[in-house]
């Protein structure tokens, strides 16, 4: 289900909210059809959000995301990364537990947690060509195809990457996407 600002706009839920309490049927036979319709509306909403995210990815990296693959295949690829574009997170990422770099659906989860009151918008999401290049180079150095599923990265030890930049804050092993986030600081 989408978060509340979006869920209340779904036709099935908006219909219920538009009624007065007295107009709602009191028998339970009415509600299963409402729940079924809400599930269908939610699936349509999810597909719309996925299509918006894919458009954003293709603007940054048209060669990585061919139209021959399904939405789910594209969004689950290891090279599919989004950046949090929130000004608040850029200023104080620790306040929102922001990693700045996310896959799908983690970018949506982060946005919903960060701002539960407002509707979904691509305004809070970016796809940077340089960060995509970093991801591609890192995957290449690991001998992992850029179109490999993200589960390939998750299958590696989550703390198996180490940056040799010498920064005392980065002496501990870290995850793949945390390392991408660290490298992205050098290009911004």
129-141 pLDDT per residue, tens: 888 888 888 889 8
Contact 107, 177 (CB under 8 A): no
31-54: average pLDDT: 91
**Model confidence at 97: pLDDT above 80:** no
Whole-number average pLDDT of the chain: 81
Report the C-alpha dihedral over residues 153, 155, 157, 161, rounded to 10 degrees. Answer: -10
- 110-132 confidence digits (pLDDT tens): 888 777 777 777 888 888 888 88
Instruction: State which residues form the domain around 102.
Output: 4-20+27-184
Give residue-wise pLDDT tens across range 151-181: 888 777 666 788 888 878 778 888 888 888 8
pTM confidence score: 0.78
**What strand order describes the sheet that includes 125-126?**
101-102, 82-84, 125-126
Q: Looking at the 3D structure of the chain, how many domains does it have? A: 1
């Amino acid at each position: 289900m989408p978060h509340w600002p979006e869920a209340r706009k779904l036709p099935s839920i908006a219909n219920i909210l538009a009624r007065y309490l007295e107009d709602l049927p009191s028998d339970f036979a009415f509600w299963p059809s409402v729940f079924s319709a809400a599930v269908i509306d939610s699936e349509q909403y999810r597909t719309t959000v996925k299509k918006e995210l894919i458009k954003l990815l293709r603007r940054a990296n048209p060669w990585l995301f061919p139209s021959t693959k399904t939405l789910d295949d594209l969004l689950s690829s290891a090279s599919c990364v989004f950046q949090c574009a929130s000004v608040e997170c850029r200023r104080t990422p620790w306040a929102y537990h922001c990693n700045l770099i996310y896959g799908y659906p983690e970018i949506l989860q982060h946005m919903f947690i960060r701002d539960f009151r407002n509707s979904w918008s691509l305004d809070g999401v970016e796809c940077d060509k340089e960060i995509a290049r970093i991801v591609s180079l890192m995957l290449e150095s690991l001998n992992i195809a850029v179109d490999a599923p993200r589960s390939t990265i998750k299958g590696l030890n989550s703390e198996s990457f180490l940056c040799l930049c010498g920064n005392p804050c980065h002496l501990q092993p870290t995850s793949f996407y945390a390392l991408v986030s660290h490298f992205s600081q050098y290009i911004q």
